[in-house]
Structure 1
Amino acid sequence: METDLHQVIRANILEDVHKNYIIYQLLRSVQFLHSGDLVHRAINPHNCLIDADSTLKLQQFGFARQLSECENIEPVLSDRIATRWYTAPEILLGSTKSTKSEDMWAVGCILGELLLGKPLFPGTSTMSQLERILEVTSEDISFNTPFAATMINSIQIVKRKSLKELIKDENAVDLIEKLLRFNPNERITAEEALKHPFVMKFNTENESICLSQILESKNRKEKNYIELLNAEIDKWRKQQ
């Protein structure tokens, strides 16, 4: 692949139709992973490879985990800003349980960045990140994680922002709002998102690929997950 989505967004060369197509492909990739109960856990523009035809490929499976292994695991938090900007709020609040919704939050952040040309929530710290998220969130917020209530109550929002003020595309705003629900249980799934008007024109049933088994890698190494995924893709191609 020629570059990654981070570089392409900074170059400001994408037409609207490219943005629709890129999100469609990203959702299709996530649907494929989730159909095998595999959570990527590190989706961001740096891990979305892209070429001159706007073909997108998802990379970096070093943090990927099978859903049954996502209880009491170490959150994907680091000092790298590029990681924090796409981290779901439940992880910022200390949750040690990863879900498919974690990936969907990251997709919503990437969609916002594609349309704005800059990160949607460019926090400079965990608390700063939460503050920026809460500026555009009007939901009832409750999480049963240690210190979550203390963290949220310590944040004072001076001025709330509306996504409609930042983004003019109504379909895009609607999809972002469904992806960026603060409560992970209320976020749209990849399968549901693929039926949304923002990407529907690219969605055809014969392109739907689902894993035929639950993916499990005994040593949970990136290389092993990639081998398992490639084997499933080869199997699908032969069937076609």
Structure 2
Amino acid sequence: MNQYTVLGRIGEGAHGYVMKGVNKFTGTEVALKKLIIKNLDEGIPVNVMREIASLQVLNSDYIVKLLNIIPHGMGFVLVMEYLPSSLYDVLRDTDNPLNEAQIKCYMKMLLFGVKYMHENHIMHRDLKPANLLIAQDGTLKIADFGLARIYVKNEPNRQYSHQVATRWYRAPELLYGSHNYTTAVDMWAVGCIMSELYNKTPLFPGETDIEQLAIVLHTLGTPNEESWPGLAKLPDYNKITFSYSSGLSWNAIVPDIADESLDLIKNFLLYNHCKRLNAREALNHAYFFIKPLACSLTEMLKPDSIKPCEMPKFEEFDLI
């Protein structure tokens, strides 16, 4: 750690915290993710190992880069590229609302990252605006691979945990307790993120898992075996019954947007995961080929549009 100067804390997680630092020799800003191993006898937590393994495998302009791993005290530090903002911050910036071309640019970068990730057999399982970081030049990068999992397409009966994904972006098959799902859970989250870029507010903001499912069913309509083959076989399907809903009109769900934009969102938010667009298909959708086209990164940036995370001032900051 001697080569880094720690500037302050910028975030916290289940197994440690994240600090901003700078390389003393190159002047490069970095994010230092300090991971604390509370019980050495139990080994390194599985989600930590998944994050490290995923970042070591993935090498894309649209995925955050792991630069180094340094043993330190009762744990170790992940040295990662420093990205000063997130899509969550962009959505909260009401003084600088995104225009159509900017939204398309963010969606294009997100889909390039998801496409690369899925083609390398990794499900993220926690895509949300807070986990989509933005570099100083405007590049969007997928981060936080703590819930990532290797996905093997030719093993359809492989079981996974359904307790994944932040509730508001959790696919309905997960809400019904499915242990047998695909990378389509990430595409549902992409649809939620895209709608949020237009609506400026989360689409399905449930406070509990039951309320989350109730909001989804009220909004999209009550599913059946025709719209969702295999629905009745899901583990939690018979545990709770909801009132029938015919669903809201799509123009009410995501109002005042172009038909092509709405069509892309609709094809992400399908109950039948087999019919959801994958990232490659989405990138070929008409949405990206009609005006306004996705703008360049230079055109995206406005004065002060990428604002650093707020950090408390420290006279001295100890890593341990």
Q: TM-score, normalised by structure 2?
A: 0.57
Which range is displaced more, 48-57 or 116-125?
48-57
Deviation by residue 1:137-169 (Cα, 9 ceiling, x = unmatched)? 245344222221443xx1125673222123222
Residue 185 of structure 1 is matched in structure 2 by 274
User: More helix by proportion, 1 or 2?
Assistant: 1
Kindly indicate whether residue 173 of structure 2 is the aligned counterpart of residue 90 of structure 1.
yes
Kindly indicate whether residue 164 of structure 2 is the aligned counterpart of residue 73 of structure 1.
no
Which of 186, 191, 207 lines up with 1:124 in the alignment?
207
Contact 1:67 1:98 in 2 (8 A): no
Counterpart CA distance in 2 for 1:159 and 1:182 is 14
Kindly indicate whether residue 118 of structure 2 is the aligned counterpart of residue 34 of structure 1.
yes
Q: What letter is aligned with 1:3?
A: S
**1:154-173 equivalences in 2 (<5 Å):** 154-157=241-244, 160-165=247-252, 166-169=254-257, 170-173=259-262
Counterpart CA distance in 1 for 2:158 and 2:283 is 28
Counterpart CA distance in 1 for 2:136 and 2:268 is 27
Q: Secondary structure at the match of 1:115?
A: helix
Deviation by residue 1:65-115 (Cα, 9 ceiling, x = unmatched)? 11138822222347xxxx100000000100112311011000000000000
Contact 2:187 2:277 in 1 (8 A): yes
Which of 104, 109, 113 lines up with 1:25 in the alignment?
109
Counterpart CA distance in 1 for 2:184 and 2:213 is 17
Which of 74, 77, 92 lines up with 1:10 in the alignment?
92
Counterpart CA distance in 2 for 1:54 and 1:87 is 27
**Cα offset for 1:202?**
4.9
Residue 65 of structure 2 is matched in structure 1 by none
Contact 2:158 2:180 in 1 (8 A): yes
Deviation by residue 1:45-67 (Cα, 9 ceiling, x = unmatched)? 11000145432000011111111
Kindly indicate whether residue 237 of structure 2 is the aligned counterpart of residue 148 of structure 1.
yes
Percentage identity across aligned positions? 33
Counterpart CA distance in 1 for 2:115 and 2:138 is 19
Deviation by residue 1:2-48 (Cα, 9 ceiling, x = unmatched)? 21111110113222211111011101100001111211111111100
Structure 2: gaps of 5 or more residues: 1-82, 296-320
Counterpart CA distance in 1 for 2:163 and 2:99 is 32
Contact 1:42 1:76 in 2 (8 A): no
Kindly indicate whether residue 134 of structure 2 is the aligned counterpart of residue 50 of structure 1.
yes
> Alignment RMSD, CA only?
2.2
Distance 1:99 1:159, change over 3 A: closer
Residue 316 of structure 2 is matched in structure 1 by none
Counterpart CA distance in 1 for 2:91 and 2:244 is 29
Q: Secondary structure at the match of 1:135?
A: helix
Bigger-Rg structure (1/2): 2
Kindly indicate whether residue 185 of structure 2 is the aligned counterpart of residue 102 of structure 1.
yes
Q: Secondary structure at the match of 1:177?
A: helix
Counterpart CA distance in 1 for 2:137 and 2:255 is 25
Q: Secondary structure at the match of 1:161?
A: coil
Contact 1:48 1:57 in 2 (8 A): yes
Counterpart CA distance in 1 for 2:183 and 2:129 is 18
Contact 2:128 2:193 in 1 (8 A): yes
Counterpart CA distance in 1 for 2:172 and 2:209 is 9
Asked which structure has the greater RCO (Cα within 8 Å, sep 6+), the reply is: 1
Q: Secondary structure at the match of 1:49?
A: strand
Counterpart CA distance in 1 for 2:245 and 2:178 is 27
